[in-house]
Amino acid sequence: MDRMIYVAMSGAKETLMAQANNSNNLANANASGFLADLQQFRSMPVFGDGFPTRVYSMSERPGTDFSRGDVKETGRDLDVAIHGDGWFAVQARDGSEAYTRRGDLQIDSAGRLTIGSGLPVLGDNGPLAIPPAEKIDIAPDGTISVVPVGQLAQEVVVVGRIKMVSPDQSQLEKGDDGLLRLRNGKRAPASAEVQLTSGNLESSNVNIVDAMVDMIELSRRYELQVKMMKTAGDIEESSASIMRIG
């Protein structure tokens, strides 16, 4: 069988992988602070005996789009957005420290401060806990102040400060859980230069129109590869038919 069918099969497989990546971006278009995954194709010659006459396609995720999403005013006290560069520190499900720009904060049943996905928000000394309070205020430097239940409005208590970091973006890599970590596996130090705004929320940086266009293009590319596979099969069948006639 001509190697053409393997080239087409490779192209179809890699196109499906690219489509999965694009679909994941689209699925998170409304997720607060989500950063889109970049995608690219490149050619890879097939080396072996003789001259490399065939070239396979390869789909790669070269990195993450670090551009910022739009910041929208919500008026909710627990909605926060990073002003400028920087990241919130959270505790990932494996217990490691990770970073995100997601700022839809919640207080779970145990009193822990979490982001919308349920991951604990880290402070200077670990996960932050919020006692029952009449009012919660988050300052630009991440300091959390509360008015305890049953206390007067002027009786404010500081319960902790959200850890915010500002590592070099080139040192960050995105994991399968959508969180960012330092490539060397270490923890980034807290940065006093990072500031946040309360009552605001940063949206995803996914461009829905571009993602939809990419989805259509990838679908057509997949159909082309499938047609090439069918053509290769037809050529093989015709060749076999000619041999039988001979």
Residue 35's Cβ-count burial label (10 Å; 0-12, 13-18, 19+) is buried
Could you give the angle at the alpha carbon of 198 between the alpha carbons of 196 and 204, nearest 5°?
75
Q: Please check whether residue 206 is in contact with residue 29, taking contact to mean a CB–CB distance below 8 angstroms.
A: yes
Residue 13 confidence (pLDDT):
87
| Sequence ranges of the domains in the chain | 4-65+206-245, 71-202
User: Which of the residue ranges 16-30, 76-90, 172-186, 227-241 would you say has the lowest mean pLDDT?
Assistant: 227-241
Say how far apart CA 99 and CA 37 lie, in whole Å: 16
Residue 144 confidence (pLDDT):
94
228, containing H or E segment: helix 208-245
Residue 245 confidence (pLDDT):
66
Q: Please check whether residue 167 is in contact with residue 182, taking contact to mean a CB–CB distance below 8 angstroms.
A: yes
Q: How confident is the model at residue 2 (pLDDT cuts 50, 70, 90)?
A: low
Q: How many CA atoms lie within 13 A of 105 on its CB side?
A: 33
Q: Please check whether residue 91 is in contact with residue 123, taking contact to mean a CB–CB distance below 8 angstroms.
A: no
pLDDT(1) > 70: no
Per-residue model confidence as pLDDT tens digits over 189-230: 999 999 999 999 999 999 999 999 999 999 998 998 888 888
Mean pLDDT of 20-39: 92
Share of the chain above pLDDT 70, in %: 96
Q: Please check whether residue 163 is in contact with residue 88, taking contact to mean a CB–CB distance below 8 angstroms.
A: yes
Residue 52 confidence (pLDDT):
67
Phi, psi (5° rounding) for residue 148?
A: -55, 155
Say how far apart CA 143 and CA 211 lie, in whole Å: 38
Contacts of 30 (CB under 8 A, 6+ apart): 203, 204
Judge if pTM exceeds 0.85. Answer: no
